Structure 1
Amino acid sequence: MTVQDIRSFNRFYTNVIGALDYGRHLYAPYTLTETRVLYELAHARRTDAADLRAELSLDAGYLSRILNKFEQDGLIERAPSETDPRRRRVGLTPRGRDTAALLEERARESVSVLLDGVSPDDRPRLAEAMRTIRTVLGGDRAPRAEDVVLRDPAPGDLGWIVQRNAAVYAAEYGWNADYEGLVARIVADFAEDHDPHLERVWIAENAAGRPVGCVMCVRDEAPATARLRLLLVEPDARGLGVGDRLVEACVGFARGVGYRELVLWTNDVLAAARRIYRRHGFVLVGEKPHRSFGKDLVGQDWRLDLLGPPH
């Protein structure tokens, strides 16, 4: 491979991306760079100006002008960092989250149009080629917490939730297909009938574009109560704080849309998950032995009061 090979590919791919936006105004009224900043604010773990600058390799003055524009448009709010008063924490407002979601939806629709022209037989080969480029040029380094982003589910992700829950719990706890059936019903109920304003799914994605975790927030039968479901972190992504970020996203969403309580059901053998719940303020309110998934377990009900101060 030569330098010219890479430059030629860059020109080709730039033309492809430009064709996607031809006459469609995907990012209007924002530039591509402004859209990237919105994406990072919606998905990245770190949300102060210094981290945004480093992550996107932006000039400090340029980023400041972007953030000022966003603040004037009512998309962000800024406040002193809770851990370092020299830093400014940047967060999306409800209008900002809606704008970021709209821009992402436009981008997905545009890529779907591009994929319509790719035969089903060629799509796995295309995906593998993209993964190869990212792996080779990204270097062989250990996973980092900042490489993981939280995003909405894409086509196929709900099926991934079912498959990985079944596989991981079978491998680590010996649970049988009854658990897979339970997860499939939960996911199918969400897919068929959910209120996007009150219910949501998050997928944690690593730098290679692979899902490494998930969680769901759905309405509970009790009034003004949400339920956290199907928290999962892949074994190779543990230790990066992914579980904490997923639970934090669920709690923040539930509190933001007006639920009074967030509840969950788990089992005593899931010690790592229980530690995460406790760190985020959940309280154990009940236990009951049961025989499920081919094992004798102790089910636990946990509760978080969302009207109290954030934990």
Structure 2
Amino acid sequence: MASPAPRVGPAGPADHARIAELTVAAYAAEELAPAEYLPQLADVAGRADRAELLVARDRDGRVVGSVALVLTGDFGEVVESADEAAFRMLAVDAGARGQGIGAALVCACLDRARAAGKRRMVLSTGERMTAAHRLYARFGFTRLPERDWSPVPGVDLRVYVLDLG
């Protein structure tokens, strides 16, 4: 029997410690981010002020995934106009992968961006994040190489875009 679809909704302050734990674990386990970036991944309260934090919960209510949705402001870093939204720091608990949690979080971001009147979703992802690349391709995201960027030397990020029309 298939697992029930994860419930996705807004995160609250009580979820911050769990979001930090699973985000750092997701990036550190596969060395997808340099060690210097891990404190930023753990700073959930800091990003809660600049993004809408969404979580996926399993049937027991445990947070098994999270994402930061950027509808306004500078936390998107790849957003270039008011009609664009972005999401960042998508993470799924290693023990819950393959259950549609990442896809449910992406769907929630796309739905909220459309509801906010955004026309495009943009995101950046590391070159080695191949599972994420496959997920984004399933949604129809395409590369936007002219916006690729490097936040720090040695970290090259690819940008992807999806028209929301």
TM range (shorter): 0.7 to 0.9
CA contact (8 A) 2:69 2:85 kept: yes
Aligned residues: 156
After superposition, give the CA deviation of every residue in 1:267-310 in whole Å (9 maximum; x if it has no partner). Answer: 11111111111111211111456756xxx443101111112xxx
Moved over 3 A (4+): 174-177, 187-190, 287-292
The structure-2 alpha-carbon separation of the partners of 1:270 and 1:147, relative to structure 1 and needing over 3 Å to count, comes to: same
* TM-score after normalising by structure 1: 0.45
User: What pairs up with 1:38-57 in 2 under 5 angstroms?
Assistant: none
Higher RCO (CA 8 Å, separation ≥ 6 residues): 2
The structure with more radius of gyration: 1
Identity over the aligned pairs, expressed in percent?
33
The structure-2 alpha-carbon separation of the partners of 1:149 and 1:298, relative to structure 1 and needing over 3 Å to count, comes to: same
User: What pairs up with 1:182-201 in 2 under 5 angstroms?
Assistant: 182-184=40-42, 187-192=44-49, 200-201=52-53
The structure that is strand-richer by fraction is 2
User: What pairs up with 1:88-127 in 2 under 5 angstroms?
Assistant: none
**CA distance, structure 2, for counterparts of residue 151 and residue 173 of structure 1:** 28
After superposition, give the CA deviation of every residue in 1:114-133 in whole Å (9 maximum; x if it has no partner). Answer: xxxxxxxxxxxxxxxxxxxx
User: Displacement of 1:232 after TM fit?
Assistant: 0.8
**CA distance, structure 1, for counterparts of residue 138 and residue 6 of structure 2:** 21
1:304 aligns to what? 162
Q: Does 1:245 align with 2:116?
A: no
Q: Does 1:276 align with 2:100?
A: no
* TM-score after normalising by structure 2: 0.80
After superposition, give the CA deviation of every residue in 1:235-262 in whole Å (9 maximum; x if it has no partner). Answer: 1111111111110111111012201111
User: What pairs up with 1:1-311 in 2 under 5 angstroms?
Assistant: 144-146=2-4, 148-173=6-31, 175-184=33-42, 187-192=44-49, 200-218=52-70, 219=72, 220=79, 222-286=81-145, 287-288=148-149, 296-307=154-165
**CA distance, structure 1, for counterparts of residue 132 and residue 32 of structure 2:** 17
Please, which runs of 5 or more residues in structure 2 have no aligned partner? Answer: 73-78
CA RMSD for the aligned pairs?
Answer: 2.5
